[in-house]
Amino acid sequence: MTQPSLTADGHDHVALIRAIAQRQDRAAFADLFAYFAPRVKAWMVRAGSSPTAAEELAQEAMLAVWQKARLFDPTRAGVSTWIFTIARNLRIDALRRERHPSELMPDPAEEPESPMQADRVLAMAQQETRIRSALILLPPEQAEVIRKAFFEDKVHAEIEKELGIPLGTVKSRLRLALNRLRAVLGDLG
């Protein structure tokens, strides 16, 4: 037979848990809550939780006690051990969510890219060689605009400022150069 675990006002904790489990006895839960909630909150604060987080975790633990009362087995643990184990587990879960949110939901942008296959690398190198050869066939002013736009990744306004030519001229040189490159490269365009 287990020893009764009495509250400050003489209530048996095991009997309170049984009343909650069997009858959903709100008065029994109120007595259990009044006794354990402040103790769980104080333990959470001593363990490093902020007072607000400790209050939330204590309430969450006591709600779990209400919901899981039918699972309590007095032969396996005392009421206080059971309640503080629930509280400890909730605190651990909260810390995991706090410290490692990225582990809960990985960011697809942080996934490493798979290495490029050798045949793809070779094909890209061959395309680059063909494009660079085709640039030689362009008039120098068109080739320069293409290099700045595509190889230096500059926007039209930057090219306009760097070359000291009107924006319309930048756009027309790009259009003419692209048309010539398409004609020369054909299958790449």
pLDDT score, position 161: 93
- Position of tokens 């190198």? 125
User: Is the overall model pTM greater than 0.75, yes or no?
Assistant: no
Are 162 and 154 a contacting pair, CB within 8 Å? Answer: yes
**70-125 per-position pLDDT tens digit:** 999 888 888 989 999 999 999 988 888 877 655 555 555 566 666 768 888 888 88
What residue segments make up the domains of the chain, in order of their start?
Answer: 13-104, 118-188
Percent helix, percent strand, percent coil in the chain, to nearest 5: 75, 0, 25
pLDDT score, position 173: 92
CATH classification number, 13-104, choose in 1.10.1740.10, 1.20.120.80, 3.10.50.30, 1.10.1060.10: 1.10.1740.10
Give CA–CA dist 101/132, Å, rounded: 46
**128-172 per-position pLDDT tens digit:** 788 788 888 889 999 899 888 888 888 999 999 999 999 999 999
Torsion of CA 134, 135, 136, 142, to 10 degrees: 140
State the pLDDT confidence band at 1, using cuts at 50, 70 and 90: very low
At the topology level, CATH places domain 118-188 in Arc Repressor Mutant, subunit A (1.10.10)
Picking from 112, 116, 185, the residue whose alpha carbon sits closest to that of residue 146 is 185
Are 177 and 142 a contacting pair, CB within 8 Å? Answer: yes
Are 74 and 14 a contacting pair, CB within 8 Å? Answer: yes
